[in-house]
Amino acid sequence: MTMFTTSDGTEIFYKDWGSGRPVVFSHGWPLNADAWDGQARLVADNGFRAIAHDRRGHGRSGQPWQGNHMDQYADDLAELIEKLDLDDVILVGHSTGGGEVARYLGRHGSGRVAKAVLLGAVPPLMLRTDTNPEGTPLEVFDGIRAGVEADRSQFYWDLSASFYGYNRPGATESEGVRRAFWMWSMQVGLKGAYDCIEQFSATDFTQDLQSIDVPTLVAHGDDDQIVPIGAAALKTAEIVKDATLKVYPGAPHGLAGDYERTFNADLLEFIRS
C-alpha cells in the first residue's frame, strides 16, 4: 500500500493513479478513498492524475487517538500535497471532505491549487444556531453519536438507505451500493468516527469560504437528507467569490446511477475548462 507518515507520526494511505494535472479527492464520513474510485478512474482515463487518501482514523490510514479534528485533516491534506510536490491542483471534496477542502484553502491558501469542487459538502455550517436557522438541530447529531456508540454496524447499515435516497418512494435500491457503504464505514475506528461527528456538524467554515480565490464548482442534490442544501450549497455559492452552482433535482447525498453519471460529466467538464 502507498503510505506516508505525517509530522505527528500518523500513517496516511493514498492512491495515486494516472499522470497529468493532479486531481486530489477528499472523502466523506464515515467512508474512505474507495468511495471516489469511479471518479478517480474517470479523471485518470482522461489525462489527469487522480490522488485519493483515507482520512486519519478511516480506512487503511492510522487510527491515532489525537488529531481527529478539521484543522488536522486539512494539515494532513497539505502534507500529502507537499510530499508529492503537487502544483496546479484541483481539489475535490464530498460531504466532510468538502469541509476538509475548504479548511485547507482557508488554512494553507491556494498557492498549489487551481480549482476546487465541493460536492454535497458540509460548509458553511451544518448545525442549527440562532444565526443559522436553516441548519440541522443538535439532537440529530446527538442521535448519530448515540447510534455509533451503541451499535455502529446496524447504524451504518440503516444510514446507507437515506444516504443514497433509497428510503424515498419509487427509488431503485442497490443492495451492493449499501453493502459497500457499510463495509467502508466499518473500517473507520470508533474514536475517529465519533470525533469526526462534531467536526462535520459544528465547524463553521464561513471564513474559509470567504478566503477561496479559485474557481469553485458547488454541486448538491436538492433531496439531500444528510446535508440539506439550504444550509449548505445555496449559502456556499453565495459566499465563494468565483462559484458555479449545480443543483441536481431529486438527488440524494450519495450519488449513484444516473445522478453519479450526471456529476461525472460536470466534474470532467469543470476540470477540463
pTM reported for the whole predicted model: 0.97
Select which of 53, 58, 76, 95 is catalytic.
95
Does position 23 have pLDDT exceeding 80, yes or no? yes
Q: Is 153 a catalytic residue?
A: no
- In which region does residue 217 sit, left (phi positive, over 0), alpha (psi from -120 to 50) or beta (all else)? beta
Select which of 34, 54, 76, 224 is catalytic.
224
Q: Is 253 a catalytic residue?
A: yes
Q: Is 151 a catalytic residue?
A: no
- pLDDT, tens digit (0-9, with 9 covering 90-100), for 110-162: 999 999 999 999 999 999 999 999 999 999 999 999 999 999 999 999 999 99
Provide CATH code, domain 3-272: 3.40.50.1820
Alpha helices (runs of H) in 109-217, residue ranges in sequence order: 138-163, 175-186, 190-202, 206-211
Pairwise CA distance, residues 232 & 104, whole Å: 18
Each domain of the chain, given as residue ranges in start order, spans 3-272
Beta-bridge partners for 49: 18, 22
Pairwise CA distance, residues 222 & 94, whole Å: 15
Quote the percentage of the chain above a pLDDT of 90: 100
Pairwise CA distance, residues 149 & 271, whole Å: 40
Select which of 58, 94, 220, 253 is catalytic.
253
